[in-house]
Amino acid sequence: MLWIKCCVVLLVFTYASHADPVCSVPDSGKASVTALVLNMAKSVGPCVTPNPSVLLALNLVDKTFDPATADLLVKQLKEDAVTKVSENLPFSSGKVALYALALRSSCCDITNIPYSKGNLNLVSLLENKTKEEIKSIEKEKKKPLTTFYQVALDVLALCVVNSHVAFQAGTTLANAVPSNPTSPDFSVDTAAVAVMGFTCVLGMDAAPTKTISSVKNALSVLINLMLNNQMSDGIIGNIYSTGLAAQALTAAQSYYTTTSWNCPLTIQKVLQEIPLGTFSLPIAAAQVLPFLQGMSYVNVKDKQCTVDNSPRITVEYTIVNNLVEENFKYTIQVEVLEGSTLLQVMQKAAQINPKEFSFSTTDSEWGVFVSSINNLAGNNNQRTYWQFFNETTPLQLGVSSYKPTNKEHILAIFSKF
Ligand SMILES: *[C@@H]1O[C@H](CO)[C@@H](O)[C@H](O)[C@H]1NC(C)=O
Ligand SMILES: *[C@@H]1O[C@H](CO)[C@@H](O)[C@H](O)[C@H]1NC(C)=O
């Protein structure tokens, strides 16, 4: 499918600012957190329904994990969103919001996801769905089409993608928050997501005064709701609402006296629950992990994504050994930036398929010398070495100097000298 390739446009990202966590995981708890990340990442697979919260968590976690996992999730989420839209399947506003947040956390261009029938603009879809929610709350029945939880996700995602509809949605949601919320409409989970959405909106440029005052008001009501739901063991609400609530209290720390939340106790309780398997469901791990890293969903907004439009080339790379047992021949297509060296092509191949394309090098006066590929090393006594060709012509330059051109076919052939 062609449209999948769109996200292959490499996007470079960095965090513009770092969260200043209210508290952090002590060294003794770090192994548990790593185990939780790995366990959650294991839930991702080719035949598993993709979970946007897992991608969000992976992208917020300050660790280098297997990038193939995130790539697979991005591909699956895009395919899933496109299927839902093109086949008119249910896709509620909150779900669109989560997909938008997750794909944005991977620096995808969510305004332009190409597919067979055109382009899917997930931001426009989210704006439209949110406007329907707003209409339902304001005009019809004082209730959203879905739930306030989903509307809170809408506000958060609209803000993260910098849509001005976030102001309208934020105001409507804020006005719907009762001064003393007790109803199931505003549980700790809903309050947590709304607090993240409101905190994000207050950080947007040019927020209308009306929005600011309504949102600040509702923000303080919902922060109090969460603080009042702190248990003596550090849980906020129940163990499963604790992750979102703690993310929210981390994000909104400039809007309350931080001493009114016993953050270290919450961390301690969560760490105790990890080995008990409490967060073994991917969604449970995904909600608690950003908090354990001192992050919240609001931090997705700080992630600076710059589109790298540098031209790319495709190089075909083949490794052949017909000289010694066991013979082998493998071919791979590699996409690299134009101007990359053959060494960079080989590194990319090894990254995509380490089993067959791993190699080792030694440095010599002549540049980098390839000593082995696919665990087969040249041997001076047997007068064997790895020789490089473009098609049939031996390369005159070393791998660290030679720059293949687009569609060039490079062969590494195990040879005798
Ligand atoms: C959102 O609504 C506008 C106006 O009705 C429409 O033109 C646009 O196609 C809609 N966007 C999506 C993604 O459905
Ligand atoms: C192989 O290299 C030669 C010499 O550098 C060049 O003229 C030729 O175009 C290359 N072949 C391919 C298929 O790129």
pLDDT at residue 118, as a whole number: 82
Q: Is the CB of 390 under 6 A from ligand 2?
A: yes
Which atom in ligand 1 lies closest to the alpha carbon of residue 121? 13
Calpha distance 331→350 (Å, rounded):
12
pLDDT for the residue 308: 62
Q: Is 156 annotated as a binding residue?
A: no
The protein residue with its alpha carbon nearest to ligand 1, atom 1, reads 128
CA distance linking residue 163 with residue 154, whole number of Å: 11
Counting Cβ atoms within 10 Å, is residue 42 exposed (0-12), middle (13-18) or buried (19+)? Answer: exposed
Give me the pLDDT at residue 31, please: 94
Nearest CA to ligand 1 atom 7: 124
pTM, two decimal places: 0.71
Q: What is residue 16's predicted lDDT score, i.e. its pLDDT? A: 40
In a mutational test of the pocket of ligand 1, which residue from 93, 123, 128 has the highest number of ligand atoms less than 8 Å from its CB?
A: 128
- Residues touching ligand 1 (Cβ under 6 Å) are 121, 124-125, 128
SS3 sequence, the chain?
A: CHHHHHHHCCEEEEECCCCCCCCCCCHHHHHHHHHHHHHHHHCCCCCCCCCHHHHHHHHHCCCCCCHHHHHHHHHHHHHHHHHHHHCCCCCCHHHHHHHHHHHHHCCCCCCCEEECCEEECHHHHHHHHHHHHHHHHHHHCCCCCCCHHHHHHHHHHHHHCCCCHHHHHHHHHHHHCCCCCCCHHHCHHHHHHHHHHHHHHHCCCCCCHHHHHHHHHHHHHHHHHHHHCECCCCCECCHHHHHHHHHHHHHCHHHCCHHHCCHHHHHHHHHHHCCCCCCCCHHHHHHHHHHHCCCCHHHHHHEEEEECCCCEEEEEEEEEECCCCCCEEEEEEEEEECCCCHHHHHHHHHHHCHHHHCEEEEEECCEEEEEEECCEECECCCCEEEEEEECCEECCCCCCCCCCCCCCEEEEEEEEC
Determine if residue 351 is labeled as part of a ligand binding site.
Answer: no
Ligand index nearest the alpha carbon of residue 410:
2
Ligand 1 atom nearest residue 127's Cα: 1
Q: Is the CB of 405 under 6 A from ligand 2?
A: yes
Q: Could you tell me if the CB of 205 is within 6 A of ligand 2?
A: no
Is 29 exposed, middle or buried (CB count within 10 Å of its CB: 0-12, 13-18, 19+)?
A: middle
Strand partners, 337: 312
Q: Which protein residue's CA is at the shortest distance from atom 5 of ligand 2?
A: 395
Give the closest residue (by CA) to ligand 1 atom 14. Answer: 125
Is 388 assigned a ligand-binding role in the annotation? Answer: no
8 near 306, Cβ under 8 Å?
Answer: no
Strand duo 328-337 + 312-321: pairing: antiparallel
For residue 413, the one-letter residue type is I
- The rounded distance, in Å, linking the Cα atoms of 157 and 166 is 8
- Give the model's pLDDT for residue 305: 77
Token code pair at residue 197: 């959405």
Residues 225/168, Cβ–Cβ less than 8 Å: no
Report CA-CA distances (Å) from 76 to 72, 95, 358: 6, 15, 27
pLDDT at position 17: 43
Indicate which ligand has the atom closest to the C-alpha of 91: 1
Ligand 1 centre to CA of 121 (Å) is 9
How far apart, in whole angstroms, are the C-alpha atoms of residue 345 and residue 342?
5
> Which ligand number lies closest to the CA of residue 126?
1
Give the Å distance between the CA of 49 and the centre of ligand 2.
46
Residue with the smallest CA separation from ligand 1 atom 13 is 125
Please indicate if the annotation marks 250 as binding a ligand: no
Residues in the chain predicted with pLDDT less than 70, given as ranges, are 1-19, 62-66, 140-141, 183, 306-309
Q: Which ligand is nearest to the CA of 390?
A: 2
